[in-house]
Chains A and B, each alone.
Chain A
């Protein structure tokens, strides 16, 4: 997608203000829904298949990434019914290590790029990082320059996304909006439209490095933007909530919201991902609890 496309006027939905009270009430209603038995097991299985198992620490080592990849391929080695996760998400420097370990598996390699998490490095550097990451990874998670967005330089943000999209070739591009720094639902909606129009394949809530990270109301705004964008342009965009999703209950809540706002066409790893580092074991514990009928101990599950 070129910068010229990004400059095309956005439809009115993109710029309308968000009804904050209505949105939060709807999100709270969705979060209170009770999912039981077969539906719960379906949701838990789907949550695993949609997980981007993430480690973005300064202390990451090749050994740690190897462990992460093993966990990604075999979340519960003793239970063959548990599927692998969707992807492993690491820093670009370690993407090659992940690539080696995941060569014969369906798990994809995702790398964060463009000066993660701040997005404040000079643009040439960010672009070069994205290009280098795309040589190894299947998917690129880029951050936008929130400073530019908040200063009103929307054109610059759109051009940068379009340039990164061009630089990473056919790689799957997830654009991180870092909604916790955008200062309100109106800006989340605007940034979502901007990113989608500029060529994002996925829009992602957060880096996980600042609070608040993913929240349900923010994710619902983004879902509505994706829905409206699909109506307006016919293009299908995916959603990735990330950061602070630690419990199976939270994951199910996001799946419920996706089902209600976007429909069950979006309940697939091609269109929905959960970025998380500690979610997986809680989901596995819930599945084991559904099967065995007793509450589980974290000691029985391997560290990622």
Chain B
């Protein structure tokens, strides 16, 4: 008897659930058909869920966020073969999954060291303490890199998560399957519902809605072309949204705490100590 072939439907990861686009639309890439084509309303729902989840995620001890990210790495490790296959097989695919694992473990470790690395006690002329402490910027839209499809998502995603941000990610448009599959790793990796959303779709359709969404605190434009970046900046000029350009560090995807600091805001506090 031959085993029954079970075809898998690619789904968006939204609010902790795996769903089709509310619009019911799909699109086709070179290697896969019936990829959900997220609409502006899927984006809206994702931001709503992220906004609701953000205070709880940021309030967790940084150490705990690190533990969760480490568990995500454990889940990815357990599904290594599946990821290698969806990345096209071969040695390059294996190296990319390994690099993704390294990034997750790296930022798991970085989570409770960010305030030491980016914060400071400032020297001031007065009988005060003056501290600078980092805080998560809030809800970040991540335009993931087109290639490498997995790493271009995992590195900036882990970097933003470890600082206490929630992330609404547009996975690679031309190779969305690795990004969408990552949702299954995040869901079993104890990432709370809403903290991450993974949307596949057409960037030309979704980016204008990202740029004009006033409830997004930042856009990590790591996967944007220069034209897309300019268009995002123009739309975001109306609000206080941070538009984070790809930059050298983002393009090379070299692991550095600087990647996490991109999605932090610095708060400076004067603290009277008496004498």
Contacts and interface: CB of A to CB of B under 8 A. Distances in A.
Residue among B44, B211, B215, B235 with the highest chain A CB neighbour number at 10 A: B215
A295 B235 contact: no
Nearest to A292: B212
B239 interface: yes
A297 interface: yes
Contacts of A298: 215
A292 B215 CA distance: 14
Interface in B231-247: 235, 238-239
A297 B235 CA distance: 15
B129 interface: no
B44 A295 contact: yes
A295 B239 contact: no
B136 to A, nearest CB: 16
Contacts of B214: 294-297, 300
Contacts of B47: 295
Contacts of B211: 294
Interface residues of B, number: 12
Nearest to B44: A295
Interface residues of A, number: 9
Contacts of A300: 214
Nearest to B215: A297
Nearest to A293: B212
Nearest to A295: B213
A294 B238 CA distance: 10
Contact of B209 (A292, A294, A296, A299): A294
A19 to B, nearest CB: 31
A294 B235 CA distance: 9
Nearest to B48: A295
B212 A297 contact: no
A3 B239 CA distance: 61
Contacts of B209: 294-295
A297 B215 CA distance: 4
A295 B208 CA distance: 11
Interface string B210-238: 01111100000000000000000001001
Contacts of A295: 40, 44, 47, 209, 212-215
Interface in B177-217: 209, 211-215
Nearest to A299: B215
Nearest to B235: A294
Nearest to A294: B212
Contacts of B40: 295
A48 to B, nearest CB: 21
Contacts of A293: 212
Nearest to B236: A294
Residue among A296, A297, A298, A299 with the highest chain B CB neighbour number at 10 A: A297
Contacts of B212: 292-295
Residue among B40, B212, B214, B239 with the highest chain A CB neighbour number at 10 A: B214
A280 to B, nearest CB: 18
Contacts of A297: 214-215, 239
Residue among B40, B213, B235, B238 with the highest chain A CB neighbour number at 10 A: B213
Given A294-B212, A295-B209, A295-B213, 11 more contacts: A292-B212, A293-B212, A294-B211, A294-B213, A294-B214, A295-B40, A295-B212, A297-B239, A298-B215, A299-B215, A300-B214
Interface of A: 292-300
20 contacts: A292-B212, A293-B212, A294-B209, A294-B211, A294-B213, A294-B214, A295-B40, A295-B47, A295-B209, A295-B212, A295-B213, A295-B214, A295-B215, A296-B214, A296-B215, A297-B214, A297-B215, A297-B239, A298-B215, A299-B215
Task: State the 10 A-B residue pairs at the shortest beta-carbon distance, nearest first.
Answer: A294-B212, A297-B215, A297-B214, A295-B213, A296-B214, A295-B44, A294-B213, A294-B214, A295-B215, A293-B212
